[in-house]
Amino acid sequence: MRETFTLASDYIALCDLLKYCAITESGGEAKHFIAEGHVLVDGEVELRKRRKVRDGMVVSGDGFEIRVIAG
């Protein structure tokens, strides 16, 4: 799945982005998913659940890619 997410503010927390884009069903599930090392931000494994995802970043994992753009 490839998706583009448009920011409504300067950034979105990584766990919120995963929940909003339906990669996970809840924020709690998103936090576990991130902690297990399943999420890459700009090609590098990211373990920080509240990582600020900003314009131009790409969040990816097994079967998904989210490009983040400014609103």
> What is the dihedral angle through the alpha carbons of 24, 25, 26, 31, rounded to the nearest 10 degrees?
-20
CA distance 69 to 24: 21
Each residue's pLDDT tens digit, 5-60? 999 999 999 999 999 999 999 999 999 999 999 999 999 999 999 999 999 999 99
Please tell me the predicted confidence (pLDDT) of residue 71. Answer: 86
Is residue 55 within 8 Å of 69, Cβ to Cβ?
yes
Please tell me the predicted confidence (pLDDT) of residue 59. Answer: 98
Domains and CATH numbers, the chain: 2-70 (3.10.290.10)
Tokens 């931000």 found at: 41
Helix H segments across the chain? 14-20, 27-35
Q: Tell me the pTM.
A: 0.93
